[in-house]
Amino acid sequence: MDHGTLEREIHIDAAPDVVFDVLSNPEHVREWWPDEAEYPVEPGGAGRIGFGGQWVQFTVVDAIPPKLFSFRWAHAAGETAAPGNSFLVVFELEPTATGTRLRMTETGFRERGWDEAKIAAEYTDHAGGWDHYLPRLPLRVGAIR
């Protein structure tokens, strides 16, 4: 396995503008992904997200409603998020006849300078995380509609 790009795709029964809001707005994000989320929803917006009391750095790369939301995360506090020190997550939203097709990619595993065992472990951890959290996204969308 390459462990270079993690990819997921789901369909959500809601318009892209609704899905974009739930993907990007910290108020909604904390209901389906981290326990806490503090960041401005604008390119370059830096903040943090929290899982079980552990904070992780978070920086918005692009916010183009209702088509694209991307961010870098898990870089060291005090560092500017960049290739080589963080993961890049990109959510692409595409309208369908019955809602929104959401494509998610996460990259940055190989760029961190880790050995193969560490790359595989991080990739596996993130794959399991997204498999757990992404199915919660449509439930949150349904709860606010």
d(CA 98, CA 101): 9
Q: Tokens in use for 140? A: 């949150």
Q: How many domains is the chain built from?
A: 1
Task: Decide: helix, strand or coil at residue 25.
Answer: coil
Note down the domain range covering 114. Answer: 5-144
pTM of the model: 0.97
Q: What is the mean pLDDT of residues 109-134?
A: 97
pLDDT digits (tens, 9 = 90+) for 68-120: 999 999 999 999 999 999 999 999 999 999 999 999 999 999 999 999 999 99
Q: For position 33, which CATH number holds? A: 3.30.530.20
